Amino acid sequence: MIERRKTRALMVGSVPVGGGAPVSVQSMTTTKTADVDGTLAQVYALKGAGADIVRITCNDAEAAAGLAEIVPRSPVPIIADIHFQYRLALAALEAGVQGLRLNPGNIRNPVHIKEVAIAAGERGVPIRVGVNAGSLDKDLLEKHGAPVPAALVESALHEIRLLEEVDFHDIKISVKHSHVPSMVESYRLLADRIDYPLHLGVTEAGPPPSGLMKSVAGIATLLLEGIGDTIRFSLTANPVEEAEAGRKLLEQLGLRERAGLDLIACPSCGRAEIDVMAVAAEAQRVLEAEKLPIQVAVMGCVVNGPGEAREADIGIAAGRGKGHLFIKGSVVRVVPESEMVEALLDEARRLASEGVEARLAAADSTAEQMAEEAAAELLAVQGDADHVAERRARVTRIARGE
């Protein structure tokens, strides 16, 4: 279990952040905010993909007016993204947003910052201090010579002090950097200095797959250390991909319950009786459409498949023209190879509605024996298809220096 860092608690609309609340997924719309219907359509798509909170730009008066229509119709809390013009923050608050993001690199007047904080405090609206390496205050850049972690943290702490001076404490903070090691170090330094909740992200991560790898590298590293209360994958892609990736990461780390399919598959080997990649891709396609919160395994052979994937809720393994369907490692049905994916889908639906015990009770009593016979037949025909015995012998000789 991950021991999470203790932080203050706040609410972004109906979503709790910090104080031990589940890590939440955030994304940001790419539409023009003045396009109310288009923006709402994207917000709903993000909600469906796993986003708990959505950030929307408020960059002009038309965008602020759009928020007034969007917020009451949104299925998730809305955070207004504010740059340069503090009056747009005041307008967004009037529009009813549930959170603000202020960039201390481009709203520098303490009077303006405090005015926004007082207005947000009166409405119970939290503020994220959103420090970004690409828009760091010029004085800090001159002092530190570059957007190094110490500079990002100094920027965040300065902004926090301004908010605290007007008794505003509903604060969360981000110190985003496009360089993953610098991003990680920035959050570590900040986590040692304050107890406010932190929003994690690698800024300007770029398009998938490299953007995904950067984001996972930075965000997962910190989450595994217990640091982080909300996350965003900042990808150059459809924002729905951001929400999906964030949700899946939290599920894989055990920080959120599984909400959809988790498909695992063996990498294939000399013993595989099927095209594992093709069957796994087809299984993924049909099962994802069902939106079942289960783990499914697709294994290339019946020799090791059910045992290796015994922790999966359900799976199927190939063996001499047949598919051996198993639940928690126990083979329950045998079907023709051509019907493997169809049978997997049918059993997954039954498993979701009836439960594991009921489906195990309904198992074909001969299925386990048929699987054992198929495994024995496969071994007899193929022998040591993966040449395991030879490899073990070579490895042993090397290890012994023979």
* pLDDT tens digits, 162-185: 999 999 999 999 999 999 999 999
CATH topology of domain 9-252: TIM Barrel (3.20.20)
Confidence of residue 86 (pLDDT cuts 50, 70, 90): very high
Separation between Cα atoms, residue 324 and residue 335, nearest integer Å: 7
Q: For the range 16-22, what are the long-range contacts, defined as Cβ-Cβ under 8 Å and sequence gap of 24 or more?
A: 17/126, 17/172, 17/197, 17/229, 17/230, 18/172, 18/196, 18/197, 18/229, 19/197, 21/229, 22/250, 22/255, 22/256
- Rounded mean pLDDT, 96-124: 95
Looking at residue 294, what is its pLDDT?
Answer: 87
Separation between Cα atoms, residue 27 and residue 30, nearest integer Å: 10
Task: For 308-336, write each residue's pLDDT tens digit.
Answer: 778 889 998 887 788 889 998 889 999 99
Task: For 298-308, write each residue's pLDDT tens digit.
Answer: 988 887 778 77
Q: For the range 344-347, what are the long-range contacts, defined as Cβ-Cβ under 8 Å and sequence gap of 24 or more?
A: 344/283, 344/287, 344/296, 344/298, 344/314, 344/315, 344/316, 345/283, 345/286, 345/287, 345/290, 347/314
Residue with more model confidence, 300 or 43: 43
Q: Is the pLDDT of residue 43 over 70?
A: yes
Separation between Cα atoms, residue 231 and residue 55, nearest integer Å: 12
Give the architecture-level CATH label for domain 262-382: 2-Layer Sandwich (3.30)
Phi and psi (nearest 5°) for 22? -55, 145
Give the CA-trace dihedral at 89, 90, 96, 100, to 10 degrees.
30
Q: Kindly report, as residue ranges, where domains of CATH 3.30.413.10 are found in the chain.
A: 262-382
Q: Is the pLDDT of residue 202 over 90?
A: yes
24 contact partners, CB below 8 Å, separation of at least 6: 12, 15, 17, 52, 53, 229, 230, 231
- Please give the C-alpha separations between residue 315 and each of 293, 329, 342, 395, in angstroms, as whole numbers: 14, 8, 12, 32
Give the CA-trace dihedral at 16, 184, 80, 61, to 10 degrees.
170
Q: Kindly report, as residue ranges, where domains of CATH 3.20.20.20 are found in the chain.
A: 9-252
- Neighbouring C-alpha atoms within 13 Å toward the C-beta of 109: 9
- Rounded mean pLDDT, 79-89: 94
Residues composing the chain? 402
Looking at residue 69, what is its pLDDT?
Answer: 93
The b-or-e profile of 303-320 (16+ CB within 10 A means b, else e) is bbbbebbeebbbbbbbbe
Residue 345 CB neighbours (<10 A): 18
> Which pTM does this prediction carry?
0.82
Looking at residue 105, what is its pLDDT?
Answer: 87
Task: For 244-291, write each residue's pLDDT tens digit.
Answer: 999 999 999 999 988 778 888 887 776 677 788 888 899 999 998 888
Task: For 349-386, write each residue's pLDDT tens digit.
Answer: 999 899 999 999 988 888 888 888 887 877 777 776 66
Q: Please choose, from the candidates 263, 269, 367, the residue with its C-alpha nearest in 3D space to the C-alpha of residue 315.
A: 263
